[in-house]
Amino acid sequence: MRFDACGRDRGIMAPTRRRRSPEESKAAAITAARELLIDQGPQAVTLKAVADKIGQTHANVLHHFGSAAALQAALAEDITATVCGMLEQSTVARLAGTGTVRQSVDIAFDAFDKHGGAALFAWLAVNGQDAALTPVADAIAGLASAVNPDIRVVESRRRAMLAANLLAFADALIGEKLAADLGVERNWVRDVAESVVLSAIVDENRGAGAASDGSIDAGSNALGAG
């Protein structure tokens, strides 16, 4: 309680809210943006909507990102970094014998679908924000050499990653409706992506067999993730 000079009760003081650091504010904004993306779609990721969600002013969020486009680009990078981290962990699990190729495929497909990646990336592309997609593409490409940098392995893995990611992207956008209209089992596209990755692993095995010392890691996943 708070009392005045005469000892009269002035009521209970509200707790003082700690100011967020700039890094904390940006992180909170990106978290809010991700929630808006999943719940309402990419068109809902605006400076005002994010500001309202985290209890800040439009001006504060604008100060941290500069524009709505920059906020969306930061969100795209955050989603990509999260998913790439999950894929790298999947690689470790597979190489340890506790993970599977299908788990990696599911991570990639869920990133585009359940985590809103496909909708956001399509939104950025349609609105001419190609520059925002460059870090996304670079991060995905980086997975190709994350486990084994041998050029013969990397080339095979890049092709598999391209095919698997394009399948995941398209499946997230129109896969459910097309599968229903065509009477095809919903997970069939994931099965195809898994086959592509397994085929690339076979190619990697061949490369390992052709190597003079057989040192190429034939068990690495073509998604760069196991």
pLDDT tens string, the chain, 226 residues long: the values are 555 555 555 554 444 445 768 788 899 999 999 999 999 989 899 999 999 999 999 999 999 999 988 998 899 889 888 888 888 888 778 778 888 889 989 998 998 998 888 998 998 888 888 888 888 888 877 776 665 556 666 777 788 888 998 999 999 999 999 999 999 999 999 999 999 988 887 877 676 555 544 443 434 444 444 4
Domain check: are 58 and 93 in the same one?
no
Domain check: are 48 and 83 in the same one?
no
Cβ proximity of 224 and 144 under 8 Å: yes
At residue 221, the pLDDT reads 43
Domain check: are 124 and 103 in the same one?
yes
| CA distance linking residue 150 with residue 165, whole number of Å | 22
Domain check: are 78 and 138 in the same one?
yes
Phi then psi for residue 3, to 5 deg, are: -120, 150
What is residue 3's three-state secondary structure? strand
Domain enclosing residue 22, as ranges: 16-66
Domain check: are 100 and 126 in the same one?
yes
Total structural domains in the chain? 2
Report field, pTM of the whole predicted structure over 0.75: no
Domain check: are 26 and 100 in the same one?
no
Domain check: are 62 and 80 in the same one?
no
Q: What would the pLDDT profile of 145-189 be if each residue is shown by its tens digit?
A: 665 556 666 777 788 888 998 999 999 999 999 999 999 999 999
Domain check: are 93 and 130 in the same one?
yes
**Degrees to nearest 5, angle at CA 65 with 135 and 131:** 30
Q: Does residue 215 form part of some domain?
A: no
At residue 159, the pLDDT reads 85
CATH code of 53's domain = 1.10.10
Domain check: are 36 and 148 in the same one?
no
Domain check: are 109 and 187 in the same one?
yes
Which residues are paired to 3 by β-bridges?
9
Domain check: are 94 and 151 in the same one?
yes
Q: Does residue 59 form part of some domain?
A: yes
**CB-based contacts of 155, cutoff 8 Å, min separation 6:** none
Domain check: are 123 and 200 in the same one?
yes
**How many residues make up the chain in this entry?**
226
What is residue 191's three-state secondary structure? helix
Q: What is the DSSP letter of 172?
A: I
| Residue-by-residue DSSP string for 207-221 | HHHHSSS--S-TT--
